[in-house]
Every structure is written in C-alpha cells, then in structure tokens.
Amino acid sequence: MRKKSILFFSLAVTAMFVLTSVATAEDYDKIKAAGEMKLSMSGAYPPFNFVNDKNEVVGFDAEIAREIATRLGVKPVIVTTAWDGILAGLLANKYDAICGSMTITAKRLEMVDFVGPYYRSGRGIFIRAEDEEKIKELSDLKGHKVGATLGETHEKWAREQDGWMVQTYKGLPELFLDLENKRIDAIVIDSVPGLLAIKKSGKPIKKVEIPSIEGGDVNIGIAIRKGNPKLKEAMQKALDDMMADGTYKKIAMEWIGYDIR
C-alpha cells in the first residue's frame, strides 16, 4: 500500500512538472517546435497589409512579418482578423505576434511586449478637397461625422474631441469610400497610409494641416505576449539585421516608396 502511494505520488509530481513546463514554455520554443510562426494583421490597411486579387495578404507589414519568421528559421503564416479584437486574439494564443501597424502605447505595454519600433508614423485628418476652406481647425469638425478605424488609438482620440460624431470602420478602404460618398465629413488615420492612398487613387482628398493635432510622431511595433524574452530578442535581432543589410529598405521602397524607419 505504501509503495503504491509513493508510486502514485511520484507519478503525480512528474505529471505536474510536465504540465508546468508546458505551461511556462517560451513562445520561441513552441514556434520552433511547430516549425511555423503565426503573425496577425487586419488585412484591410493598404499599403501596409491588404488582400490582393489573388486572395493573398501582401503589403509592407506582411513582408516584414514573413522576413522575420524566415530569419527565425520557421514558416510564416499570416492570419487576418478584425482590428478591434486583435489584441484579445493574441492573448488567447490564436497567433504568435501582431505585425499590423500597431502603435506602441503605455496602455498596450501593460498587456503585451513590443518588438521594434519597425516604423514611425503620425496622426492625420483627411477631408474632401471641396471642404478645405470650411475645415481648418479641430473645432471646425464640431457637429460633423468623423470616421476612424475601430480599436485604433485614433478612435479614442477622436472621441475625446468636442462635439465630434465618431463612426467606426473595419479599415482604410471603407473609410475613404464613405468620405468620398459624403457619408462622413472627415477621417482620422495614420498620415503615411492616408497620403499614399490619396496618391494612388488620385481622389480629391486633402490632409488638414493643423499644428494642434496631438499624437504627431508615434512608434509602431510588433506585439508579442509578455514573458517571452527569448522570442523578443530573436525577433529584434532579425529586425535589426534586416535594417542593417538593406532588406528593410528594399521592402519599404517596394510598398511605401521611401524609408519609413
């Protein structure tokens, strides 16, 4: 009886040790063991990440993500998900990282760690060209409909403005479409993709030059779960090496047209 009890106890301790080891295993080791790395983005943020006519997720973010995974020696797997639930998905282990143009903020740093920054951007307000004489200050948007991407830092900022009627969208294409069709009066987004979208489309849309806009330059990073120093170090090294050997600049020139680090 005593021997059986000791055996049972030993098996239980062993099982607990195995379970604890699995539970506390670094994401880096899990990724290497799986042979693939799942990287998430919205797929609705051209030219950073979007779905092309071949149903492939492409763009600056997508190529940076693929290159990092490749340098870690694993297969990159791009996962698209709605932006407003993307952090929850990371914390629920649905993917290994978010490489989708996420601004590094103090609030997000409480929940996740960041690799990078891998580029810098800023806040921009865009309106129809025909309205540029009417909208010159933030106060001119009081009582007007302003669009923002659901879950972005710009949405929170827009809701803090006096008298703005904020409407949320899944991504950049929907925002520009509603602005063009006069269903909203302005949009608040990152400046870089906004300016690039205007250049590509040739649409009569203008960026409002308002010096008082908060959130000028912001750092954009790749989010990973906390408690993964090995993964963070490996990804940061991959990113740093890309920037040093010219790969980053090549990707940036292909998708953005200039170096945005």
The predicted model gives 65-75 an average pLDDT of 98
State the angle between helix axes of 172-180 and 191-201 in degrees (0 to 180), rounded to the nearest 10: 60
Domains 2-120+219-255 and 121-217 share a fold: yes
pLDDT in tens, 148-170: 999 988 999 999 999 999 999 99
The predicted model gives 186-209 an average pLDDT of 87
**pLDDT number for residue 15:** 43
> Which of 56-70, 125-139, 159-173, 195-209 is least confident?
195-209
Phi-psi region of 143 (alpha: psi -120 to 50; beta: other; left: phi over 0): left
**pLDDT number for residue 100:** 97
Nearest partner of 233 among 149, 114, 107, 128, judged by Cα: 114
26 CB contacts (<8 Å, ≥6 apart)?
227, 228, 229, 230, 231
**pLDDT number for residue 94:** 98
- How long, in residues, is the chain? 261
Q: Is the pLDDT of residue 28 over 50?
A: yes
Q: What CA–CA distance (Å, rounded) separates 127 from 233? A: 41
Which DSSP letter does residue 130 get? G
**pLDDT number for residue 10:** 43
CATH homologous superfamily of 2-120+219-255 equals Periplasmic binding protein-like II (3.40.190.10)
**pLDDT number for residue 218:** 82
Burial 68-107 (b: 16+ CB within 10 A, else e): bbebbebebbbbbbebeebbebbeeeebbbbbbbbbbeee
Task: Tell me the domain boundaries of the chain.
Answer: 2-120+219-255, 121-217
**pLDDT number for residue 261:** 87
Nearest partner of 247 among 237, 256, 239, judged by Cα: 239
The 3-state DSSP class for residue 70 equals helix
> Which of 37-41, 89-93, 206-210 is least confident?
206-210
- Which pair of tokens denotes residue 227? 């408690």
pLDDT in tens, 46-61: 899 999 999 999 999 9
Q: Is the pLDDT of residue 22 over 70?
A: no
Q: Which fold has domain 121-217?
A: D-Maltodextrin-Binding Protein; domain 2 (3.40.190)
Q: What CA–CA distance (Å, rounded) separates 54 from 44? A: 15
Question: Is 182 exposed, middle or buried (CB count within 10 Å of its CB: 0-12, 13-18, 19+)?
Answer: exposed
**pLDDT number for residue 216:** 58
Q: In the structure, what pLDDT confidence band is assigned to residue 228 with cuts at 50, 70 and 90? A: very high
- C-alpha distances in Å from residue 58, one per residue of 43, 45, 80, 83: 8, 10, 11, 17
The predicted model gives 166-175 an average pLDDT of 93
Q: Is the pLDDT of residue 145 over 60?
A: yes
Between these two residues, 152 and 64, which has the higher pLDDT value?
64
208 CB contacts (<8 Å, ≥6 apart)?
124, 125, 126, 127, 132, 135, 136, 186
**pLDDT number for residue 193:** 84
**pLDDT number for residue 8:** 39
**pLDDT number for residue 211:** 65
